[in-house]
Amino acid sequence: MATPGLRELAAARGLWVGACVAARPLADDPEYGEALRRECNLLTPENDMKWGPIHPTRERYDFSRADAIVQFAAAHGMAVHGHTLAWHNQNPEWLAPAADSRAGAIGILREHIAAVAGRYAERVDVWDVVNEAVAGDGTLRGTLWLERIGPDYLEIAFRAAAAAAPRARLVYNDFGAEPTNAKADGIYQLLRRLLDVGVPLHGVGFQCHLTDKGVDLESFARNLERFAGLGLELYVTEMDVRLPLGTPGQTSALGTPLPATPESLGHQAAIYGGVLETCLAFPTFRAFQTWGIADRYSWIPRRFAGTGAALPLDDQYHPKPAYAALHERLAAA
């Protein structure tokens, strides 16, 4: 009997497991689609549902790439995690000048959410409604939305998403808030206030973009505990664990960074396994996603030079020790 992929093991536990996906390799690289089909029952469009790609001019939406991803997911029995309806990054150039007053900005935000979340109301199961709204010190990040609308932009976005996509789970998503630090405290207070005034908010996403330092799992567990205590579902939304490739500055004779070592891959596996195992202890844990299915298309080497090998499959789609660690945790009774 063939070894089950991660999705089969996750489904047996009533969980989603998945990865972010880009429309271009989905169209060009058959092995990419095959790996996604085998391992994932949940997909997140990496960029194609963000404001810039999906709403390139004031009057025009471009749903072509998002549609392709949603259709691929539907054809293969996968759920979709939409990303994202309000963020400070990857916004189209027309947005800042057009959102020139509070009323104008609210109108644009509501219209966009109605159009995008509305289009996928039957197809997108989870939405990152607001992404990365909190700064490192726990205060609201200074974004276009905060500046033009004020702190109630979050409430406006969640209510608009609930109206457009009443069946979707609505999530707040952020990075660097896995342990109980100042940012996590700020997010906790923010989400508690939103829930107190009846905002339709169902879950919290921990991105888990980690380095080889990993995360303090005891602190992560305490943090999950308090968010679960608010009645929120828990999501790991974007995990990767970037490894230094060789000694910094050291390269192969060809000038490329040196590969990860068996030791560093083993260490990475322990980090992946620890995060998943910590989450599995919570009954409201819903989904475990990595930011890419394989190292081939990971954002990490472009963003953090000299690091990479951050995902559970390598750039040839071969499973790494991290994959085995996830498999083992999902298979455990």
Active-site residue numbers?
A: 132, 238
The CA dihedral of 249, 252, 254, 260, to the nearest 10 degrees, is: -100
Shortest distance (Å) from residue 84 CB to ligand G3I = 7
In the complex, minimum distance from the CB of residue 20 to ligand G3I, in angstroms, rounded to a whole number: 7
Q: Where are the alpha helices (DSSP H) in 13-140?
A: 23-28, 30-39, 51-54, 64-75, 95-98, 102-119
Joined tokens for residue 57? 């001019």
Question: Cβ atoms within 10 A of the Cβ of 57, count?
Answer: 10
Binding characters for ligand G3I, 154-193, by CB under 6 A (x = yes): ---------------------x------------------
Residue number of the CB atom closest to ligand G3I = 299
Does position 139 bind ligand G3I by CB under 6 A? no
Cβ 306 to ligand G3I, closest distance in Å?
A: 17
Residue choice 19, 21, 46, 233 for contact with ligand G3I (CB under 6 A): 46
Is residue 47 involved in binding ligand G3I (CB under 6 A)? yes
Cβ at position 197, least distance to ligand G3I in Å: 26
Residue 17: name the closest of 269, 318, 329 by CA.
329
Q: Give the residue, chosen from 39, 155, 233, 238, that forms a contact with ligand G3I under the rule CB under 6 A.
A: 238
Query: What is the total count of residues that contact ligand G3I (CB under 6 A)?
Result: 9
Q: How many residues does the chain have?
A: 333
Q: Identity (one letter) of the amino acid at 35?
A: A
Q: Check binding of 289 to ligand G3I (CB under 6 A).
A: no
Is 64 a residue that touches ligand G3I (CB under 6 A)? Answer: no
Using CA atoms, how far residue 39 sits from 35, 77, 93, 111, 156, in Å, is 6, 12, 36, 35, 36
CA distances (Å), origin 315, targets 286, 294, 296, 297:
28, 6, 4, 8
List interacting residues with ligand G3I (CB under 6 A): 46-47, 89-90, 131, 175, 207, 238, 299
